[in-house]
Structure 1
């Protein structure tokens, strides 16, 4: 692996634009190629971010010798297909969350990474956010005592979106859970581990997608109250409370710029602004792993992705969320 990590992007939509902007802030990375099934879209994206190559098919990018790692930013339903094809071409992969639509897809992707001896990581960017890393460090060190309660939500109004788009279309694995519910579930998992029991309830839209899901994750001495929805906005401030204090991750907590900690009569605020929007930290983690010849991250491992999709699958089982292509 050279001093500069060369990136390719497939699926140049909104999230890929955010990623490309932050990639410019990482000194040892460069966007070399972008691919879209619409060549004009690829060319515009490449021009905006000074990428050398623009391709009208993903396969052309996978065959490009000037690309080390590929960022897969397609809709959920295509994550597994294109990640596997990229890895079969010997490319390292950073795949947008959720890594796959269900556990079987994630297992297939990980098997492919092992078979080809390439790096694979789910792009769960919040795991690398400095605030969330610091909060986990404080909780693991016992600063809050015994944790008794966690609350996290993620919601926005999305019912005005096109029913053909990815948010409201069941054929594109639409709904709130996989798109944004994954974040509250992630926070409970990364801070508290896997729950002993899950309770969940969902409400559905006329297209058949789930648009509200409330969850209770039960642990031995802790409850986590989690929510995702497309029917309204929410404050998106996360709270973790223990026997000796509480931490409040400032809104929007999944891309936090700081947190507050309350202990006794004191409330202290800690500002931790991100570099760029915050994708820089997961990019730096990928670079560190590749340069160390590691095929997975210690901070967000393949097992972590398996655990997370397992939790999502269980919520779906409890609430009856099934996509047409799974029936």
Structure 2
């Protein structure tokens, strides 16, 4: 059996629980340490998932010699700060998406990875979903022909949430775009590359955060229609239409286990199971990269993260989404 990769988790919040549950399903990975600003919270989380080390400060986790990589699971506004600090202590990093709030932050994070010669990857877990990898392969091989249209959405109701919480608080880079709009943007970029032009419009909550954003990504021979929102639930089904057929990704598409290929009046269904909720696949990618001494993943590179945040920055410019700490 391969030597286990030992993980540390920084920030034992909601997303960290999903990650830790899937880490238990990866035979050659294990959770060793948890860092939180609250020692009791770190210990409770660690006890739940079998960790042996608990820290009441992030600095102690950075200095832990018993871990091989740190998963950054703090709110958006702390991703850059905590990732850079971890890497400056020599730790490889898997940082929850979005890697940074804006292009400048991501650029600084990549610089820290290079400066310290350590691995870093954005935790865009859907990129490693087996069904989405198969769809990407089919698109690259030209199975559906030249893409002419794509549509993708991600929305749920969240206007009843705590206004001081992550989603509705502008000080925490709240709103739909960075939290869930990143998914449709990512998928379109993955399948079609960067657009020539972007049209976008947003609606805002009284707290100042954006709560609905509609986008058109304009390509030389195609258009993609994208949407994210916190005002209602959406179907979360993706359509990728090409000259030789159309792919329909089953909902909820970002964690899907299947899709349908429709062509010439016939349909073919594909079922491609995932491990757990789906985080296990990005965990395995990180572990493979670490064992091979890589500093970035070939499936989701530093340049991919720069391109993605650049697209979100452009949407923000067009819609007027600005956070207080950026002014």
1:202 is aligned to 202
For residues 143-164 of structure 1, give each alpha carbon's deviation from its aligned partner in whole angstroms, at most 9, with x where no partner exists: 1111100000000000000000
1:3 alignment partner, SS class: coil
Alignment of 1:257 with 2:226, yes or no, is: no
1:207 alignment partner, SS class: coil
C-alpha distance in 2, partners of 1:232/1:38?
A: 34
1:33 alignment partner, SS class: strand
Q: 1:1-327 maps to which residues of 2 (within 5 A)?
A: 3-327=3-327
The TM-score normalised by the length of structure 1 is: 0.99
1:235 alignment partner, SS class: coil
C-alpha distance in 1, partners of 2:111/2:139?
A: 33
C-alpha distance in 2, partners of 1:273/1:292?
A: 26
For residues 228-275 of structure 1, give each alpha carbon's deviation from its aligned partner in whole angstroms, at most 9, with x where no partner exists: 000000000000001110000000000011000001121111111211
1:189 alignment partner, SS class: helix
Deviation of 1:40 (Å): 1.2
Could you say what the CA RMSD is over the residues aligned between the two structures, in angstroms? 0.7
C-alpha distance in 1, partners of 2:110/2:19?
A: 23
1:215 alignment partner, SS class: strand
Deviation of 1:210 (Å): 0.1
Moved more, 32-41 or 155-164: 32-41
C-alpha distance in 1, partners of 2:236/2:265?
A: 25
2:282 alignment partner, SS class: helix
Deviation of 1:193 (Å): 0.2
2:190 alignment partner, SS class: helix
1:98 alignment partner, SS class: coil
C-alpha distance in 1, partners of 2:239/2:130?
A: 17
Deviation of 1:27 (Å): 1.1
Deviation of 1:4 (Å): 1.2
C-alpha distance in 1, partners of 2:258/2:12?
A: 30
The TM-score normalised by the length of structure 2 is: 0.99
Q: Following TM superposition, where does structure 1 have runs of at least 4 consecutive aligned residues deviating by more than 2 angstroms?
A: none
2:298 alignment partner, SS class: coil
C-alpha distance in 2, partners of 1:65/1:144?
A: 49
C-alpha distance in 1, partners of 2:139/2:89?
A: 41
For residues 115-173 of structure 1, give each alpha carbon's deviation from its aligned partner in whole angstroms, at most 9, with x where no partner exists: 00000000000000011100011111111111100000000000000000000000000
